């Protein structure tokens, strides 16, 4: 729909979008601003152009390998990068470092029961720790795990257990400009086809990622989750929520789903969790902590099958690789993550950057995601083939021009086909500008928008990249490159 010129995109924008900061919406202006004040600051610094060139060269052109102190504004990830509140910091001082039975564990357990309704909670050091424990207990070689655009660590853990992830996202999600409210939804027909083909025997569970990180931070509707639960129930297949951003997903449900506008976020969280047999959580996202995660389930049987692997990989069942103080920060953060004033600001803040970039004619995946803005590299750098990693080339130039760090969500991240060894060209070739929680102001985002525009203006001179070093799993973290001649 917006594949035309920047001017056409801008005009379309004017006609179909409300301006969220128009003065007629006084209440909205208040609600979109930061619902906190700042009592501690951390200086940031822009290295000289010369130094940025050197840092990038030393990093093998992979911005992942640049030291954090040499980044001005870091939009690599929203994972563990949020600013904790004074209440959370105070909670750190209340850490009970008892090996077994720390009081902070019981506070976490109570928070999960209260917000999500899951009876059993197994803390893990982060989301992939939870995946490792759960997948080890449930997946055997040859199994398939259907879902909606599995997150990279989820897919890697499934493949590590010699299973296979099958993507059942709705086709519409592949159109980066189709303005739909729930582009994270699963296609029930695709899902049922997988159920029919493989059956309960080969499907240990289905995973629903909400919001869907690798699909552009797009939400999943409550209606869709209920239908997935109903269908899976008929086939006897358990369903797992990958709930790293469940709170942001709840906010989208409240704003976009018919009949949900008056339901408190906490109730929507309960309704969401009720669709699932279990959940893996990276608390580094919506629980706004720097480290932490958990598995939660209402099923004693599932809990019993995972807890021994929890002890083996993560630590005793009441700490899971975390200090007592971390558990306390997580228990408190879970409540802050579902606060509606916070979520209004959070989702509005991300949208602010998206609208700014779109107003300047940039190809922005639409609608904006919950935690990030995604730039469409197929439009941004159409002359760079996918196996020359246009997203990585963009990130390298964004850093050179501005000290801002983004991250490729495309063919590099997608990895290679385990059967053929070929690059898997990503359906959506994206760069993600991920917004940490409560860290950067709107003014920082203005700078980011200008930086992206600068790269846009020089896009014709940007070359592709060639791999010089490639690790076998999760290659995007440590791969190295040179410019294509
Ligand atoms: C971050 C993330 C994970 C993995 O969690 P970590 O805490 O980074 O190990 C899993 N799923 C989704 C959707 C995520 O965003």
Q: Give strand ranges (E) for 39-163.
A: 73-74, 120-124, 144-147
Rg of the chain over Cα atoms, rounded to whole angstroms, equals: 22
Confidence of residue 19 (pLDDT cuts 50, 70, 90): very low
Annotation marks residue 167 as catalytic: no
173 three-state secondary structure: helix
Q: Under CATH, what is the fold of the domain 86-337?
A: 3.40.640
Residue from 79, 81, 407 whose mutation best tests the ligand 1 pocket (most atoms within 8 A of CB): 79
Share of the chain above pLDDT 90, in %: 86
Q: Is the dihedral of CA 194, 280, 371, 455 positive or negative?
A: negative
Confidence of residue 216 (pLDDT cuts 50, 70, 90): confident
pLDDT at 16: 52
Closest C-alpha to ligand 1, atom 4: 127
pTM of the full structure = 0.91
pLDDT at 10: 55
Q: How many whole angstroms separate alpha carbon 48 and alpha carbon 60?
A: 19
Annotation marks residue 183 as catalytic: no
Question: Side by side, which strands form the sheet with 164-167?
Answer: 120-124, 293-297, 278-282, 239-242, 206-209, 144-147, 164-167
Going by C-alpha positions, the residue among 419, 403, 421, 423 that lies closest to residue 465 is: 423
Annotation marks residue 389 as catalytic: no
> Beta strand pairing status for 465-469 and 480-483?
antiparallel
Lookup: tokens for 256: 């976009």
User: In 315-384, which residue ranges form alpha helices assigned H by DSSP?
Assistant: 324-337, 340-359, 377-380
- Would the CB of 128 count as within 6 Å of ligand 1? yes
- Would the CB of 126 count as within 6 Å of ligand 1? yes
Going by C-alpha positions, the residue among 394, 414, 413 that lies closest to residue 405 is: 394
Q: How many whole angstroms from 131 Cα to the centroid of ligand 1? A: 9
Confidence of residue 224 (pLDDT cuts 50, 70, 90): very high
DSSP H helix total and E strand total for the chain: 18, 14
Among 150, 254, 285, 397, which one carries the catalytic annotation? 285
Q: Give strand ranges (E) for 357-426.
A: 372-376, 404-405, 407-409
pLDDT at 144: 98
Domain locations in the chain as residue ranges: 49-78+340-483, 86-337
Going by C-alpha positions, the residue among 282, 264, 144 that lies closest to residue 210 is: 282
Examine the pLDDT at 413 and tell me if it is beyond 70. Answer: yes
Q: How many whole angstroms separate alpha carbon 342 and alpha carbon 369?
A: 16
Annotation marks residue 151 as catalytic: yes
Annotation marks residue 342 as catalytic: no
Q: Give phi and psi for 37, each to the nearest 5.
A: -120, 165
Per-residue model confidence as pLDDT tens digits over 231-290: 999 999 999 999 999 999 999 999 999 999 999 999 999 999 999 999 999 999 999 999
Annotation marks residue 152 as catalytic: yes
Triad 202, 205, 208: Cα angle to 5°: 135
275 class by beta-carbon count within 10 Å (0-12 exposed, 13-18 middle, 19+ buried): buried
pLDDT at 358: 97
Question: Side by side, which strands form the sheet with 407-409?
Answer: 372-376, 430-434, 407-409
Per the CB < 8 A criterion, the answer to whether 335 and 111 are in contact is yes
Q: Which CATH architecture has domain 49-78+340-483?
A: Alpha-Beta Complex (3.90)
Per-residue model confidence as pLDDT tens digits over 429-457: 999 999 999 999 999 999 999 999 999 99
Among 74, 152, 167, 326, which one carries the catalytic annotation? 152
Per the CB < 8 A criterion, the answer to whether 387 and 467 are in contact is no
pLDDT at 2: 44
Examine the pLDDT at 23 and tell me if it is beyond 50. Answer: no
pLDDT at 477: 84
Residue from 135, 151, 245, 337 whose mutation best tests the ligand 1 pocket (most atoms within 8 A of CB): 151
- Would the CB of 155 count as within 6 Å of ligand 1? no
Give the burial string for 115-131 (b: 16+ CB within 10 Å, else e). Answer: bbbbebbbbbbbbbbbb
Q: Which stretch of DSSP H or E encloses residue 282?
A: strand 278-282
Examine the pLDDT at 193 and tell me if it is beyond 50. Answer: yes
Q: How many whole angstroms separate alpha carbon 41 and alpha carbon 48?
A: 22
Residue from 80, 129, 244 whose mutation best tests the ligand 1 pocket (most atoms within 8 A of CB): 244
Instruction: Give the CB-side neighbour count of residue 267, counting CA atoms within 13 A.
Output: 6
Examine the pLDDT at 12 and tell me if it is beyond 60. Answer: no
Annotation marks residue 235 as catalytic: no
């Amino acid at each position: 729909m917006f594949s035309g010129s920047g001017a056409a995109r801008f005009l379309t924008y004017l006609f179909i979008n409300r301006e969220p900061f128009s003065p007629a919406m006084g209440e909205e202006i208040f609600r979109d601003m930061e619902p906190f004040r700042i009592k501690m600051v951390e200086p940031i610094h822009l290295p000289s152009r010369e130094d940025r060139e050197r840092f990038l060269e030393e990093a093998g052109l992979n911005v992942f390998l640049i030291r954090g102190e040499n980044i001005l504004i870091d939009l690599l990830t929203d994972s563990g990068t949020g600013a904790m509140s004074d209440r959370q910091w105070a909670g750190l001082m209340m850490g009970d470092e008892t090996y077994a039975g720390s009081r902070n564990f019981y506070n976490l357990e109570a928070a999960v029961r209260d917000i999500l309704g899951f009876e059993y909670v197994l803390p893990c050091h982060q989301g992939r720790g939870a995946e490792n424990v759960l997948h080890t207990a449930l997946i055997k070689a040859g199994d398939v795990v259907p879902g909606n655009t599995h997150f990279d660590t989820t897919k890697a853990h499934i493949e590590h257990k010699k299973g296979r992830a099958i993507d059942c996202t709705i086709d519409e999600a592949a159109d980066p400009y189709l303005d739909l409210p729930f582009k994270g939804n699963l296609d029930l027909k695709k899902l049922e086809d997988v159920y029919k083909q493989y059956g309960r025997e080969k499907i240990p569970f289905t995973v629903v990622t909400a919001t869907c990180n690798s699909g552009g931070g797009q939400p999943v509707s409550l209606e869709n989750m209920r239908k997935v639960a109903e269908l899976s129930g008929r086939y006897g297949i358990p369903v797992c929520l990958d709930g790293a951003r469940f709170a942001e997903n709840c906010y989208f449900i409240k704003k976009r789903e018919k009949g949900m506008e008056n339901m408190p976020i906490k109730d929507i969280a309960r309704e969401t969790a009720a669709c699932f047999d279990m959940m893996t959580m990276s608390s580094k996202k919506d629980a706004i902590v720097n480290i932490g995660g958990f598995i939660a389930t209402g099923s004693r049987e599932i809990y019993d099958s995972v807890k021994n692997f929890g002890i083996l990989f993560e630590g005793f069942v009441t700490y899971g690789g975390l200090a007592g103080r971390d558990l306390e920060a997580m228990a408190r953060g879970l409540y802050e993550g579902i606060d509606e004033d916070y979520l209004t600001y959070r989702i509005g803040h991300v949208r602010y950057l998206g609208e700014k970039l779109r107003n300047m004619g940039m190809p922005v995946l639409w609608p904006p995601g919950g935690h990030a803005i995604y730039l469409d590299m197929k439009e941004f750098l159409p002359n760079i083939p996918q196996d020359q990693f246009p997203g990585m080339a963009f990130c390298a130039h964004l850093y050179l021009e501005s000290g801002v760090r983004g991250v490729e969500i495309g063919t590099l991240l997608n990895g290679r086909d385990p059967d053929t060894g070929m690059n898997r060209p990503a359906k959506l070739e994206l760069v993600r500008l991920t917004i940490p929680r409560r860290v950067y102001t709107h003014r920082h985002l203005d700078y980011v928008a200008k930086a992206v525009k600068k790269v846009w203006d020089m896009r014709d001179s940007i070359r592709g990249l060639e791999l010089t070093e490639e690790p076998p799993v999760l290659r995007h973290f440590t791969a190295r490159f040179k410019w294509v001649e």
